[in-house]
Amino acid sequence: MPKKKNDKPMEPLTPAVIQDQPITETIEKNYMPYIMTVIVSRAIPEIDGFKPSHRKLLYTMYKMGLLGNTHRTKSANIVGETMKLNPHGDAAIYDTMVRLSRGYEALLHPYVDSKGNFGKFYSRDMAWAASRYTEAKLEDICNELFRDIDKDTVDFTDNYDGTLKEPTLLPASFPSVLVNANTGIAVGMASSICPFNIGEICETTIALMKDPQHDIAATLPAPDFPGGGQIICDRDALNAVYRTGRGSIRVRACYTYDKSNNCIDITQIPPSTTVEAIIEKVIELAKAGKVKEISDIRDETGLAGLKITIDLKRGADPDKLMGRLFRMTTLEDSFSCNFNVLIGGVPRVLGIRELLQEWVAFRVECVRRRTHFDLAKKRDRLHLLYGLQQILLDIDKAVQIVRSTEEESEVVPNLMIGFGIDEVQAEYVAEIKLRHLNREYILKQLNAVEELENEIADLEDILAKKNRVNTIIIQELRAVAKKYSQPRRSVLIYPTEEPEEEPEEIPDYPVHLFLTESGYFKKITPQSLRMSSEHKLKEGDRILQTADTTNNQELLFFTNRCQVYKTRLSEFDETKASVLGEFLPSKLGMDEGERPVYMAITRKYDGFMLFFFESGKVAKVDMQAYATKTNRRKLVGAYSDKEPLFCCYYIHEEQEFLMATVTGRRLLFHSASIQTKATKNTQGVAVLTLKRASRIGSIVPYTEGMLAKPHRYRPKTLPSAGQLSTPEESGEQLTLL
């Protein structure tokens, strides 16, 4: 391509300059501002009980005139107006309004009076309608949130573009921070506040104001969840939550048994789960055969409220079934508490007592600021009336001054000179209408002077006496409790009233067990085995272990990865010899390449496990080492991984074992000669000393008649190399190997 005349030679590229910057400095400059914004301005509630998104939405609705006897407006209108304060988009604003609404049923005392489909808190899949279809206004309880907000009770700040003002807090006249649930996840911290009954909270606050050492549990027995449920009242756990602000509370679903239809109706569930999660878990348990009494489960939630129906099979006990479902599903769940609240812009985890004390301090400041505002207004009014009182002495003189003044700008100065009043008073007098320049009107106005003086004295007394402020707060709390209190929704169950959990009844009958080398397992009844005893095995597979036992037993499968998997025999279905059986690595969730090498059958975890290693060492572990209080299915470090395992045996009592090498040596030793260990991964002790190029050929439990001269192979001390077989026992040697 020919070069153009105007083409300039390309300048060489300047190499990029890379500057090293410590990671701590990068995090501090770039990430820390984001962290602080999320904590302070988004995720953690403040002492008024609201996050910024809640406060912006409610204040916008208040300014739109949606409080009191008014009609609802479209939610889309509210969302649009709120965007002037909250720049996070219409979807986030509408989601916030849904949570605060009565229709969503997430709050004990909703703040938004909703109309239309707002979804349900207890349903994961029930989506709410779009904002253009629903309508809303503020609930009456919001009167307590915005009481005297226009009297300088709280600070105001600019919105994000500086065109509007918004409150930094709402002057709530009750401890809303503890009345409605609030959760939030920030960066490195979170907040989860459970709801309490408004009547009980107001009563507790009043009692604490009168006596800082008041026993909170006496007036605040437990939380009160909007979805009801049964709270298992563990007093120690509740006291820990009350004292530290952290802990968990167990909540159980409520149900009734419909005898005519043989079904269970669940009408209340814990707040930490959903209808769909419960149904999915019950179906999973039914498919796994862990609950066999259920024939069907369905969601019958409708206009009457939440309802999960479980159809039972004939003869099923509903109470026993629910007891098992409480243990295996989220029909009984824990609500985690973390009372993390912003106090003066600083996140603090507080107990109930400290949190209510902080709210009282906040409310005291609100009442004092309101009193200052009212006092200033009344003083200004009284000052004007004092000026009007001077005019009353000679109304004709005031009229004469105004009429004789040539310029309008001189009216106020001339009134000031004529009556000895200040500019504000003179301005007020000058603005009086001509029709009001009569003695009767002015006397009516002056009659309020004495009343104003008394009111000002009362307001000054309130500011001077702390007890007066506390009395006002207590009166307001009692009024709120009287107007908005409602019966508890959550029922308390004390430990003495809890139904005892009866052990699951497992049918017990004889079975034959078969474990193959590839990891297949079969449970066959004697009758089925008699009908067909020929086993179907995978090509190249062989039966590794057989056992006769009963169905009510526990199984421990030891694997080649030094792990053991625990399960119940009743969890396996009965099968036939003509099938491969269940593949244990899949059934028990084993690691890739892991396979079982031994099966131990037990119920009481008595006796010992003997592990024989290829080096000739033997480890003896007490079976109690594998017993666990919790229902753990997998235990690591089941035996030592220092040396390869040759075989293992589970014995109920001490007995002899015959060890033989490939070179013809035999050793007969008693298990009692080995010390029992409580640690599972003990390396054991040396029993058989192997000569060079020798290895273990077999290890079997010894029974009488296996050897012609057994005393010859019993060593005096261990370890021992054993004895060579005699010529007359050579056949036995061949048989053993």
pLDDT digits (tens, 9 = 90+) for 535-566: 899 998 999 999 999 988 999 999 999 999 99
Q: Which amino acid is at 302?
A: G
Mean pLDDT of 84-95: 92
Whole-number pLDDT of residue 735: 42
| Mean pLDDT lowest among 58-67, 263-272, 281-290 | 281-290
Using alpha carbons, list the distances in angstroms from residue 569 to 459, 541, 602, 713: 79, 23, 10, 39
The domain defined by 50-171 folds into Topoisomerase II; domain 5 (3.90.199)
pLDDT of 84 reads 94
The pLDDT of residue 16: 66
Q: What is the pLDDT of residue 734?
A: 40
pLDDT of 532 > 80? The answer is: no
At residue 448 the predicted structure's pLDDT band, cuts being 50, 70 and 90, is confident
Q: Which stretches of 623-687 are assigned E, i.e. beta strand?
A: 634-636, 645-651, 656-661, 665-670, 685-686
Query: Is the per-residue pLDDT at 344 higher than 70?
Result: yes
Per residue in 416-444, pLDDT (tens digit) is 988 889 999 999 888 888 777 777 877 78
Report the predicted TM-score, pTM, of the whole model to 2 decimal places.
0.70
Instruction: Let me know how many helices (H) and strands (E) the chain has, helices first.
Output: 21, 33
Q: Which stretch, 185-189, 455-459, 524-528, has highest mean pLDDT?
A: 455-459
Q: How confident is the model at residue 727 (pLDDT cuts 50, 70, 90)?
A: low
Residue located via tokens 């301090």: 361
Strand partners, 608: 622, 651
At 633, is the pLDDT very low, low, confident or very high (cuts 50, 70, 90)? confident
Q: Mean pLDDT, the chain, as a whole number?
A: 90
pLDDT band at 501 (very low <50, low <70, confident <90, very high): low
Give the model's confidence band at 698: pLDDT under 50 very low, under 70 low, under 90 confident, else very high.
Answer: very high
Residue 610 has pLDDT above 70, yes or no: yes
Provide the pLDDT confidence category of residue 630 given band limits of 50, 70 and 90. Answer: low
Structure confidence at residue 119 as a pLDDT band (50, 70, 90): very high
Q: Which two tokens stand for residue 236?
A: 């120690």
Q: Residues 56-75: what's their mean pLDDT?
A: 95
| Nearest C-alpha neighbor of 342 from the set 52, 47, 54 | 47
Of the residues 34, 59, 94, 133, which is catalytic?
133
pLDDT digits (tens, 9 = 90+) for 359-417: 999 999 999 999 999 999 999 999 988 888 888 778 888 888 888 888 888 989 999 98
**Spatial distance between the Cα atoms of 278 and 268, rounded to a whole number of angstroms:** 12
| Per-domain residue ranges of the chain | 50-171, 254-330, 365-484
213-253: per-residue pLDDT in tens?
999 999 999 999 999 999 998 889 999 999 999 999 999 99
Beta-strand relationship, 656-661 and 617-622: unpaired
- CATH number for the domain whose boundaries are 365-484: 1.10.268.10
pLDDT at 498: 47
Note the pLDDT of residue 732: 46
Going by CATH, does the domain composed of 254-330 fall within 3.10.129.10?
Answer: no
Dist CA 737 CA 734 (whole Å) = 5
Residue 737 has a pLDDT of: 36
The angle that helices 275-287 and 318-328 make with each other, rounded to 10 degrees, is 110
Is position 650 annotated as part of the catalytic site? no
Residue 30 pLDDT class (50, 70, 90 cuts):
confident
Distance, in Å, from the CA atom of 735 to the CA atom of 700, rounded to the nearest integer, reads 12
350: helix, strand or coil: coil
How does residue 736 score in pLDDT terms, banded at 50, 70 and 90?
very low
**499/685: higher pLDDT:** 685
Q: Which pLDDT band holds residue 188 (cuts at 50, 70, 90)?
A: confident
The rounded distance, in Å, linking the Cα atoms of 471 and 386 is 32
